[in-house]
């Protein structure tokens, strides 16, 4: 059986005046069946967008290393040249809703013109009919579609970008913080829209978020990323009911505290500098359970029960 998506040792480094930043550091994950949704969660700066951009081949110019393998529907995408990838995969099979949707749109062209350009670039006719169907699905008026992005609200921009991502009926949509710029009532609407699109079209999602509650509403499988590495992965139930990594537990505590009305809770301390070489567990300096041994040797992902993996030497003891 061909797996839908599997990355192995995905690595992204950036060159900066201050040194090399290891944004994604040997990340391996999979979506085994089309239609499944995988959440990529973690705090700001842990490498979520970089991992998404690597899948889309949209890494910035100062990328100094992009390695590992990305198998998608039986093909290793890293072996394709940029032109083949652009023509046959990006938007057509793997589309995305970028983290900063507004700046991803062309400010001088109407939303409709941007749809037309995408369809034309892929040789698709009957664009008008397709566009009106897409707009109806995401609940955007025809009038709005004829406007430039500046005339649209944040929620409308988000809907337009979701419609663009679904335009060519891709098998996988990468959603990078699809609600981060929206107010709470709109967040809920966008999440419901994503859930219904997924059901209707059997589209797979790689859902990037720092919001575990949203991930739980949309996704079947979870990956928790810390400082460019996966620290825990499993099914939604495994991660929510029996989180094993101290970092995952802290993330879950933060949402429950926030829900109890104690304001937005944060994990004390800061993520490590991705330029340094880490000799031990990168979470150890913020971990209230860490022991001296945690600072020696980077923990590897261990399978603790079927499908549930954790990279923590203490996880079995907790």
Taking the C-alpha atoms of residue 15 and residue 4, their distance in angstroms, rounded to an integer, is 32
Least Å distance, CB 265 to ligand ATP, is 17
Among ligand ATP, Mg ion, none, residue 309 binds (CB under 5-8 Å by kind): none
The correct pick among 2, 32, 33, 62 for binding ligand ATP (CB under 6 A) is: 62
Q: Is 98 in the site for ligand ATP (CB under 6 A)?
A: no
Q: Do residues 36 and 217 touch, judged by C-beta distance below 8 A?
A: no
100 binds ligand ATP (CB under 6 A): no
- The reply on whether position 157 binds ligand ATP by CB under 6 A is no
Q: Is 55 in the site for ligand ATP (CB under 6 A)?
A: no
What is the C-alpha separation between 251 and 237, in angstroms, rounded? 15
Contacts of Mg ion in 86-125 (CB under 5 A): 99
CB of 266 to Mg ion, least distance (A): 17
Q: Are 227 and 211 in contact (CB under 8 A)?
A: no
How many residues form the binding site for ligand ATP (CB under 6 A)?
17
Shorter beta-carbon distance to ligand ATP: residue 44 or 260: 44
Interface segment toward ligand ATP; rule CB under 6 A; list 40-48, 64-72, 122-130, 295-303: 40-48
Residue 294 CA neighbour count, 13 Å, CB half: 18
Element (H, E) at 226: strand 221-226
- Choose which of 5, 23, 105, 231 interacts with ligand ATP (CB under 6 A): 23
Rounded least distance, CB 39 to ligand ATP, Å: 13
For residues 66 and 14, give the distance between their C-alpha atoms in angstroms, rounded to a whole number: 9
Q: Which residues contact 263 (CB under 8 A, 6 or more apart)?
A: none
3 state SS of 67: strand
223 sits near ligand ATP (criterion: CB under 6 A): no
Applying CB under 6 A, which part among 43-51, 71-79, 137-145, 301-309 lies near ligand ATP? 43-51
The reply to whether 134 sits near ligand ATP by the rule CB under 6 A is: no
Q: Is 176 exposed, middle or buried (0-12, 13-18, 19+ CB in 10 A)?
A: buried
**Would you count residue 178 as binding ligand ATP (CB under 6 A)?**
no
DSSP three-state, residue 94:
strand
Region near ligand ATP per CB under 6 A, out of 45-53, 79-87, 238-246, 296-304: 45-53
Contact call for residue 248 and Mg ion (CB under 5 A): no
Does residue number 47 form part of the binding site for ligand ATP (CB under 6 A)?
yes
**What b-and-e string marks burial along 181-219, b requiring 16 or more CB atoms within 10 Å of the CB?**
bbeeebbeebbebbeebbeeeebbbbbbbbbbebbbbbb
C-alpha closest to that of 208 among 109, 106, 59, 99: 99
Q: Alpha-carbon dihedral of residues 120, 123, 128, 131, nearest 10 degrees?
A: -80
CB 244 within 8 A of CB 312: yes
Q: How far apart are the C-alpha atoms of 38 and 41, rounded to whole Å? A: 10
* Closest CB to ligand ATP among residues 23, 152: 23
Q: Is there binding between residue 68 and ligand ATP (CB under 6 A)?
A: no
Is residue 60 a contact point for ligand ATP (CB under 6 A)? yes
- Least distance to Mg ion, CB of residue 101, Å: 13
Chain residues that interact with Mg ion, rule: CB under 5 A: 48-49, 99
Binding footprint of ligand ATP on the chain (CB under 6 A): 14, 16, 21, 23, 42, 44-50, 60, 62, 99, 210, 274
């Amino acid at each position: 059986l061909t797996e839908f998506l599997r990355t192995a040792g995905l690595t992204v480094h950036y060159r900066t005046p201050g040194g090399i930043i290891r944004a994604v550091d040997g990340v391996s994950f999979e979506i085994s069946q089309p239609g499944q949704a995988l959440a990529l969660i973690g705090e700001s700066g842990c490498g979520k967008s970089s991992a998404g951009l690597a899948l889309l081949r949209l890494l910035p110019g100062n990328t100094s290393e992009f390695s590992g393998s990305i198998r998608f529907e039986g093909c290793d995408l890293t072996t394709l040249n940029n032109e083949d990838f652009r023509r046959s995969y990006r938007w057509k099979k793997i589309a995305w809703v970028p983290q900063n949707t507004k700046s991803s749109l062309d400010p001088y062209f109407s939303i409709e013109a941007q749809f037309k350009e995408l369809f034309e670039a892929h040789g698709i006719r009957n664009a008008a009919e397709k566009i009106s169907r897409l707009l109806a699905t995401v609940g955007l008026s025809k009038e709005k579609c004829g406007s430039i992005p500046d005339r649209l609200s944040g929620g409308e921009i988000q809907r337009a970008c979701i419609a663009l991502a679904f335009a060519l009926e891709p098998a996988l949509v990468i959603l990078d913080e699809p609600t981060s710029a929206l107010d709470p009532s709109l967040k809920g609407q966008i999440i419901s829209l994503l859930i219904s699109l997924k059901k209707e079209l059997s589209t797979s999602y790689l859902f990037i978020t720092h919001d575990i509650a949203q991930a739980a509403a949309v996704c079947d499988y979870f990956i928790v990323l810390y400082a460019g590495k996966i620290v825990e992965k499993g099914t939604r139930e495994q991660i929510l009911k029996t989180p094993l990594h101290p970092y995952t537990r802290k993330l879950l505590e933060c949402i429950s505290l926030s829900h109890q009305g104690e304001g937005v809770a944060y994990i004390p301390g800061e993520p490590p500098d991705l330029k340094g070489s880490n000799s031990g567990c990168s979470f150890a300096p913020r971990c209230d359970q860490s022991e001296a041994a945690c600072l020696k040797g980077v923990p590897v992902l261990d399978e603790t029960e079927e499908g549930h993996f954790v990279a923590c030497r203490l996880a079995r003891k907790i």
